[in-house]
Amino acid sequence: MIKIRIHHLPVTLGLIAAPPAVSAAETDADTAPEIIVTGRAETLYRVGETTAGKLPTDPLVSSQAITVITDDLIRDQGARDAQDLYRDISGVTVFSYAGVTARGFRQEENFYDGLRGDPYSGFSVPQTFNIERVEFLKGPAGMLYGQTAPGGLFNYVTKKPSFERSIELRGVLGTRDRIGGSAEATGPLTGNIAARAGVFYESRDDFRWNADSKTLILDTGLKADFDIGSLTLQATRYDIDLGGNRLRGVPADDDGNFLASRHWNHNEASDFLWLKSNVAQALLDLNPTDNLQLDLALRYIDAKESQEYHEPRGLFDADGDGIVDSTIREFRDQFRTYESWSFGANAIWSADLGMVQNRVLAGMDYYEDKGSLNYYRARGTTSAVPGLPTPLKLIDPDYGVTDPSTYDLTLIYPDNRPTRARRMGFYLLEEATIGRIVAVVGGRYDDYRDELQGDSSSGNAWTWRAGLTWRVRPDVSLFGQYATSFEPQSIAQQDPKAGGPFDPLTGDIFEAGIKTALFGGKVQSSLSAYRIRRSNVLQAHPDGDPGNDGIDDFVSFGEVTSKGIDLDLAADVTPDWVVTVNYAYNDTKITKDNGGGGFSSAIGDRFPNAPKHQLGFWSRYQFRSTGTAVALGGDYVSARRSMSDQRVKPYFVFDGSVIQQITPAISLLLRIDNIFDKTYASSGFIDRTGHFPGKPRSVFAELRWKL
């Protein structure tokens, strides 16, 4: 006889309490095997503290807006890569590849364990296999992380070795020949040394013609505990083979209608993007005294990326009927190398000074990378020319009639375009708690240098942060903050003949809101209103080349302003039913230009790919008696404008899951994405490359065994 025991986990202020104790009498009387069903609803997919702010803090106390996506939510949604998670973050939508639009601004840089340096380079989307949780810190974060975009930043927290023994196997089968699996194990080797090892592999066809993917991740780690701290060593290998890439969009008309099938691909079957990335990381955590915490982190990345692809270069009317029906193509053969070092050190000192509970954060970080680009190119025309790529029709495209091995290629950078970048910053932040008031103030100094093909550009910047939180009562907080950011201008635009050098892009934010953990933590919410301003945006000089030196000039006179509201809500409707909802209203517009048409759009126009409305939700209900859970999610994004000012239509897509707990160790997940098979554009780019099509309906099943 199998008995089912229900553990009800009370939630208080986002902290998960332990299950109620079972008496010895109950244990003796109840000897039958049992399935313990713990409602996901009661965990709310929440964490007790966030680390993206570099001071571990209860989210209810923080004056920053931070969204945390936990491992439980990642698993429940069957998320395989970062794009599967964006709908869980208010104010975040897809831009391209791993890039997003965050609170109206394009954001492409990702941090790992608080360090700069992305093992996925720029054109591969981060995978979730070795990720414990994802933290998105909203708004300018220059005081904490240095050079960052003003909309926010992602911090991916990787899985570490644990002294709690665990073994997990997963297998996946799905549509479009999807097949894969993973195995990971962690646990103690000795009394003070723990290890972790994991492997992930998945192969599948993409919905775009000629495209497919094969991903292999090998992940290992060791953790050693000692009297005053711990040392964690990690090594990860990423091997990604993307056939028919690098993928651009599908051409669309000015009203946002696709001019070709969403399956259309500008690439040939022989095209590819291949990435091999090796990562080594060391984390040292020390607690030499009760009131002093130190952490030091070092990461090294060595990556190589090779790609051959056909780039769309211009739409045209091939048969003269007045309707665009084909595109010129350019073949690119590129090989990139990338090597980086990243180091960070933080010290947190805490002490009660009379009525004041005091914490001081002091730290520094250093980052350096170098790279090269070997680049060959052949640009076709509107007709078939021997030695050049043939054009491609939008309807009934003819693949395989062109042979890249016969192309007459031109070497673009004879010196392999060497690049080098260096970033170094020092920061200090004070947090003071007096009764129900928590105040923070901090500043940071950054020094940077960029090099490109022998040219160099350097500078420095100060960034600031101030925040205030008022605990109106234990489950309600009011918060506000002011923060700034900076981004060095591209070194390619710093040439004095082009008007350079230019001051960095700057950003600042004013934000205020309310956070709650009502009804014993069963209803958690965050509502905030903000205004972000980005200044020193480069634009074309209204007079073109006023110096008559043969190079058109830029002027640093642009400004874009983002105003909006973010709402995040997670609620236990019943002990078995959880609902998470996020909504964002955003109005991002150009608010200053050079008076001469320096932008493609004018003052008052909406910024590209910045939706005015975005809504995401996830609802999960658990039938405890059968160990079955069903879930439904949705993602709505309102109309946008592309970078070429074409309309990007609104969309609303739905996903669903069924999770069956077969035994205490075995579960089965059935996942359906885009249930109604809606055709839509996830984002817009420029007219010659089109809009990025959203994924059609797909189905997969995952069998999971965990001990």
Over residues 669-691, the mean pLDDT reads 95
What is the distance in angstroms between the CA of the first residue and the CA of the last residue of the chain? Answer: 22
Q: Is 611 strand, coil or helix?
A: coil
Decide if 186 contacts 113 (C-beta within 8 A).
no
Quick check: helix, strand or coil at residue 493? helix
The span from the CA of 501 to the CA of 455, in Å, is 12
Please state, in angstroms and rounded to a whole number, the distance separating the CA atoms of residues 342 and 660.
43
The 3-state DSSP class for residue 76 equals helix
pLDDT of residue 539: 80
The domain limits of the chain are 166-706
Which residues is 110 bridged to in the sheet?
Answer: 154
Q: Are 223 and 187 in contact (CB under 8 A)?
A: no
Four-point Cα dihedral 19, 24, 26, 30, nearest 10: 100
At 19, which helix (H) or strand (E)? none
Among 13-17, 124-128, 635-639, which range has the highest average pLDDT? 635-639
**Which structure tokens are listed for 372?**
């090269």
- The dihedral through the CA atoms of 157, 160, 164, 167 has a sign that is positive
Q: How far apart are CA 591 and CA 224, in angstroms?
A: 54
Tell me what pLDDT residue 537 has.
Answer: 87
Classify burial at 290, counting beta carbons within 10 Å of its beta carbon; exposed 0-12, middle 13-18, buried 19 or more. exposed
Of 176-190, 193-207, 541-555, which gets the smallest average pLDDT?
A: 541-555
The rounded distance, in Å, linking the Cα atoms of 699 and 694 is 15
Report helix, strand or coil for 421. Answer: strand
Is the pLDDT assigned to residue 275 strictly greater than 90? yes
The three-class DSSP label of residue 405 is helix
Task: Please say whether the beta carbons of 204 and 212 come within 8 A.
Answer: yes
Q: How confident is the model at residue 26 (pLDDT cuts 50, 70, 90)?
A: very low
**The pairing of beta strand 178-188 with beta strand 166-174:** antiparallel
Summarize pLDDT for 589-611 with one digit per residue, the tens.
988 887 765 555 566 678 888 99
State the pLDDT at residue 643: 87
* pLDDT of 12 above 50: no
Confidence category of residue 631, pLDDT binned at 50, 70, 90: very high
DSSP state of 324: -
| pLDDT computed for residue 15 by the predictor | 30
All residues at 6 or more sequence positions from 651 whose CB lies less than 8 Å from its CB, including other chains: 635, 636, 637, 678, 680, 681, 682, 694
User: Alpha helix locations (H) across 54-109?
Assistant: 71-76
Q: Class for domain 166-706, per CATH?
A: mainly beta
Binned at pLDDT 50, 70 and 90, residue 23 comes out as very low
Phi, psi of 519 (to 5 degrees): 55, 50
Lowest mean pLDDT among 54-58, 70-74, 408-412, 546-550: 546-550
Of residues 549 and 72, more confidently modeled: 72
| Residue 24: Cβ within 10 Å count | 8
Neighbours of 574 (CB within 10 A): 12
Percent of the chain with pLDDT over 90: 73
Between CA 411 and CA 434 the distance in angstroms is: 64
Which residue is listed with tokens 């995978």?
A: 127
Radius of gyration of the chain (CA): 26
Nearest CA to 439 out of 513, 530, 364, 356 is that of 356
* CA atoms of 193 and 99, how far apart (whole Å): 38
Q: How far, in Å, CA of 372 to CA of 303, rounded?
A: 11
pLDDT band for 9, please (50, 70, 90 cuts). Answer: very low
- What pLDDT digit, counting tens, does each position of 227-274 carry? 999 999 999 999 999 999 889 999 999 999 999 999 999 999 999 999
Residue 2: per-residue pLDDT:
36
Q: How confident is the model at residue 155 (pLDDT cuts 50, 70, 90)?
A: very high
Instruction: Name the percent of the chain lying above pLDDT 70.
Output: 92
Is 32's pLDDT higher than 90?
Answer: no
Residue range 553-577: average pLDDT?
Answer: 90
Cis bond upstream, residue 546 (ω within 30): no
Question: Could you give the maximum distance between any two Cα atoms of the chain, in Å?
Answer: 93
pLDDT of residue 597: 56
Contact 236, 218 (CB under 8 A): yes
Tens-digit pLDDT profile for residues 284-311: 999 999 999 999 999 999 999 999 999 9
DSSP 513: E
Please compute the mean of the pLDDT values over residues 311-327 and round it to a whole number: 94
User: Which of 77-91, 200-214, 541-555 shows the lowest mean pLDDT across its residues?
Assistant: 541-555
Please tell me the distance from the alpha carbon of residue 698 to that of residue 84, in angstroms, as a whole number. Answer: 13
Angle at 667 between CA 665 and CA 670, to 5 degrees: 170
Beta strands at 3-7 and 34-38: parallel, antiparallel or unpaired: parallel
In 3D space, the residue among 693, 694, 676, 655 whose CA is nearest the CA of residue 79 turns out to be: 655
pLDDT band, very low/low/confident/very high, at 369 (cuts 50, 70, 90): very high
| Lowest-confidence segment of 124-133, 362-371, 523-532, 671-680 by average pLDDT | 124-133
Specify whether the CB–CB gap between 266 and 392 falls below 8 A: yes
**CA–CA dist 350, 639 (Å, integer):** 48
Phi then psi dihedrals of residue 695, to 5 deg: -75, 135
At residue 18, does pLDDT exceed 70? no
> Average pLDDT in the 116-133 region?
88
Tell me the average pLDDT across 546-558. 78
pLDDT of residue 13: 28
Alpha carbon distance 352, 180 (integer Å): 53
Per-residue H/E/C for 175-188: CCCEEEEEEEEEEE
The answer to whether residue 548 scores a pLDDT higher than 60 is: yes
Here the tokens at position 334 are 């590129």
Residue with tokens 């062109």: 402
Tokens 């997919």 label which residue?
45
- In order of 78, 239, 370, the CA distances from 341 in angstroms are 33, 20, 9
Residue whose structure tokens are 């970048």 = 421
* pLDDT at position 123 over 80: no
Q: How many residues does the chain have?
A: 707
Alpha-carbon span 408 to 104, nearest angstrom: 42
At 136-149, the pLDDT tens digits run 999 999 999 999 99
Burial class, 278, CB count within 10 angstroms (exposed 0-12 / middle 13-18 / buried 19+): middle
Q: What pLDDT was estimated at residue 50?
A: 76
Kindly report, residue by residue over 457-510, the tens digit of the pLDDT.
999 999 999 999 999 999 999 999 999 999 999 888 887 877 888 889 999 999
How far apart CA 604 and CA 591 sit, in angstroms, is 6
Q: Indicate the average pLDDT of the chain.
A: 89
Q: Which of 123-137, 161-175, 505-519 has the lowest mean pLDDT?
A: 123-137
Instruction: Spell out the residues 6+ positions from residue 364 whose beta carbon is closer than 8 angstroms to its own.
Output: 344, 345, 424, 425, 426, 427
Per-residue confidence at 151, pLDDT binned at 50, 70, 90?
very high
